[in-house]
């Protein structure tokens, strides 16, 4: 078998596994971006010259399709509303929120049968956790923002802040 | 906390030596093509990307990909995507953290048998593509996979999310729905496609002369390495 440079292999492996939590002090393979919340760190893909996959739009090329993209985005917005409390800060790492609160914010911002919306939103939360956008702890009933949110470029945040300000607040806010 | 400047700057250093010789325009073309082949769902046309059209830029692009174990793949005339380099693929396949759960693999193999292998045996699919317009019916997956309904649904959800299968809705003209191989199958190198064909022959007809020939050739290759 041809020997593969271990640094090359580490970067290829990161693409296969997606963001996997490691100890905060663990070294980040060269060429990947290390994102830490103080306790853990995730190694994420690094893109040249500040490009993000959003660049595909400029070239009329479709990214990997999402299932239920609309609901998925709305559930992510509800989670952001609950975890990113101080909008003057960066979203990452934010703070943990109750899954129940996220579901309430979601139900309050969409139309439809509340019970059904809640049930679907739980599936959407799981899929957002599968892809590193959220960290979900269903046993503890909590959700946190995922490491991918740390890579959002600063210039993409103002419209997101404006959107979140228009959303209903989490139930416990001010309590 | 990790501000974007610190670690991200460290990350672009990886590609910097390859990008540095180029002026701003060329550099942006290389970055655009790099992001496109790595992140677009399907192969992208070279008419839209100068760095795919021009051989010198394309060589640099291939070197950029190589640093992460990736390689440039031409899927059809004028269309490109990226995939794992063959040696890297072998190394990753030997790593349990990088392989699919066994149930997911079983379901994927069923999809490949019904949507690719059988239509190809019937002469409906001719070339060596792993993409197919013939869906494997969900009912068939239920019957043959030996998985519970929830296990099967979980496996299909993960396979769909990974782009390994695509769901085809049943048409109004009674065309049956089901699952076909997903866009990731564009990303196979020629060696990976051949390997997959061989594995399917070994699984479907282990006693066939073709299977015997594959085993003999592999034994020869292993001897050649040692």
Answer whether B69 sits within 8 Å of A2, measured CB to CB.
Answer: no
User: Is residue A33, in this structure, part of any structural domain at all?
Assistant: yes
Q: State whether A22 and A94 are in the same domain.
A: no
**Whole-angstrom Cα distance, residue B63 to residue B69?**
10
Q: Measured on CA atoms in the order B55, B56, B59, B60, is the torsion positive or negative?
A: negative
pLDDT at B7 over 70: no
CB contact under 8 A, B27 and A34: no
- Please indicate whether, in this complex, the C-beta atoms of A56 and B88 are within 8 angstroms of each other: no
Quick one: DSSP state of residue B76? E
pLDDT on residue B125? 86
Asked whether the beta carbons of residue B2 and residue A9 sit closer than 8 angstroms, the reply is: no
* Residues A75 and A55 grouped into a single domain: no
* A18 contacts in chain B (CB < 8 Å): none
Q: How many domains does chain A have?
A: 2
pLDDT tens track for A49-79:
889 888 999 999 999 888 888 999 999 999 9
Give yes or no: residues A53 and A80 share one domain: no
> Are A4 and B87 a contacting pair at CB < 8 A?
yes
A159 lies in the same domain as A84: yes
Q: Contacts of residue B195 in chain A, CB cutoff 8 Å?
A: none
pLDDT of res. A1:
54
Band (pLDDT 50/70/90 cuts) for residue B2 is: very low
Residue A102 inside a domain? The answer is yes
Q: What is the mean pLDDT of residues B103-116?
A: 93
Say which CATH number the domain at A115 has: 1.10.10
pTM: 0.89
Q: Based on the domain organization, do A89 and A112 belong to the same domain? A: yes
Query: Alpha helices of chain A — where are they, by DSSP H?
Result: 6-17, 69-83, 99-109, 114-130, 157-166
- Considering only CB atoms, A49 lies closest to which of B12, B42, B85, namely B12
Q: How far is CA A161 from the centre of its chain?
A: 15
Q: Check CB contact under 8 Å for A48 and B42.
A: no
| Residue A133 included in any domain | yes
pLDDT tens digit string along A100-119? 999 999 999 988 899 999 99
Query: Hey, of B5, B6, B8, which one would you mutate to test binding to chain A, going by the most A CBs within 10 A of its CB?
Result: B8
> Which residue, of A30, A59, A88, is where some domain finishes?
A59
Q: What is the pLDDT of residues B138-147, one digit of tens each?
A: 999 999 888 9
Residues A142 and A116 grouped into a single domain: yes
Element containing residue B104 per DSSP (H, E): helix B102-112
* Chain B residues with beta carbon closer than 8 angstroms to that of A2: 87
The string of pLDDT tens digits covering residues B148-183 is 999 999 899 889 989 999 999 877 666 678 999 999
Task: Give the whole-angstrom CA distance, residue A135 versus residue A47.
Answer: 23
Q: How far is CA A112 from the centre of its chain?
A: 25
User: Helix, strand or coil for residue A83?
Assistant: helix
Same domain, A95 and A159: yes
A47 shares its domain with A86 = no
A29: in domain: yes
Residues of A in contact with B49 (CB under 8 A): 59
Low-confidence ranges of chain A (pLDDT < 50): 174-175
- A173 domain residue, yes or no: no
Per-residue model confidence (pLDDT) at position B99: 93
A75: which 2 tokens?
Answer: 């559930």
Residues A146 and A84 in one domain: yes
pLDDT digits (tens, 9 = 90+) for B176-226: 789 999 999 999 999 999 999 898 888 888 899 989 999 999 888 877 766
Query: What is the pLDDT, as a whole number, of residue A175?
Result: 47
Q: Domain of residue A103: give its range.
A: 69-166
Asked whether residue A172 is assigned to any structural domain, the reply reads no
| pLDDT value at residue A145 | 96
* Shortest Cα distance, chain A CAs vs residue B123, angstroms: 31
Nearest CA to CA, how far is A61 from chain B (Å)?
A: 6
- End position of a domain, from candidates A59, A80, A97: A59
What CA–CA distances, in Å, run from B94 to A84, B87, B98? 40, 11, 8
Is residue A80 located within the same domain as residue A162?
yes
Domain identity same for A17 and A88: no
Among residues A131, A61, A133, the alpha carbon closest in space to that of A91 is found at A133
ipTM: 0.88
pLDDT of residue A148: 92
Has residue A175 been placed in a domain? no
The pLDDT tens digits of the residues spanning B19-59 come to 999 999 999 999 999 999 999 999 999 999 999 999 999 99
CB contact at 8 A, B66 and B85: yes
The answer to whether residues A93 and A46 belong to one domain is no
DSSP H/E element including B215:
helix B209-225
Q: Which residue of A has its CA nearest to B16?
A: A48
**Tens-digit pLDDT profile for residues B74-99:** 998 899 999 999 999 999 999 999 99
The 8-class DSSP code of residue B54 comes to: S
Q: Is there a domain that residue A35 lies in?
A: yes
Q: Rounded distance, CA B226 to CA B218, Å?
A: 13
């Amino acid at each position: 078998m041809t020997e593969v440079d271990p640094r090359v292999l580490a970067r290829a492996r990161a693409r296969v596994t997606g963001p996997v939590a490691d100890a905060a002090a663990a070294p980040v393979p060269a060429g990947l971006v290390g994102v830490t919340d103080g306790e853990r760190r995730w190694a994420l893909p690094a893109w040249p010259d500040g490009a993000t996959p959003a660049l595909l739009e400029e070239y009329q090329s479709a990214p990997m399709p999402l299932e239920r993209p609309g609901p998925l985005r709305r559930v992510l917005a509800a989670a952001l509303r609950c975890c990113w409390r101080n909008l003057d800060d960066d979203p990452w790492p934010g703070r943990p929120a109750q899954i129940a609160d996220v579901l309430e914010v979601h139900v309050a911002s969409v139309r439809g049968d509340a019970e059904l919306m809640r049930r679907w939103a739980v599936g959407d939360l799981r899929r957002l956790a599968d892809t590193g956008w959220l960290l979900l702890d269903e046993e503890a009933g909590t959700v946190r923002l995922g490491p991918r949110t740390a890579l959002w470029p600063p210039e993409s945040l103002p419209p997101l802040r404006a959107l979140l300000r228009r959303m209903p607040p989490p139930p416990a806010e001010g309590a | 906390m990790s501000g974007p400047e610190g670690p991200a700057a460290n990350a672009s250093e990886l590609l910097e030596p390859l990008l540095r010789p180029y002026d701003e325009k060329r550099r942006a073309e290389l970055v655009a093509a790099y992001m496109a082949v790595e992140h677009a769902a399907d192969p992208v046309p070279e008419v839209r990307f100068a760095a795919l059209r021009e051989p010198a830029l394309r060589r640099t692009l291939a070197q950029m990909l190589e640093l992460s174990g990736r390689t440039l793949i031409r899927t059809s005339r004028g269309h490109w995507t990226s995939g794992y380099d063959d040696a890297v693929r072998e190394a990753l396949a030997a790593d349990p953290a990088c392989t699919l759960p066994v149930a997911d693999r079983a379901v994927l193999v069923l999809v490949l048998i019904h949507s690719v292998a059988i239509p190809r045996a019937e002469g409906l699919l001719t070339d060596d593509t792993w993409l197919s317009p013939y869906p494997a019916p969900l009912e068939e997956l239920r019957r043959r996979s030996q998985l519970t309904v929830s296990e099967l649904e979980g496996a299909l959800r993960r396979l769909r999310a990974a782009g390994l299968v695509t769901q085809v809705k049943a048409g109004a003209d009674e065309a049956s729905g089901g699952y076909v191989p997903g866009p990731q199958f564009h990303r196979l190198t020629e060696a990976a496609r051949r390997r997959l064909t061989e594995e399917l022959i070994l699984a479907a007809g282990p006693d066939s002369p073709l299977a015997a020939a594959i085993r003999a050739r592999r034994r020869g290759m292993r001897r050649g390495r040692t």
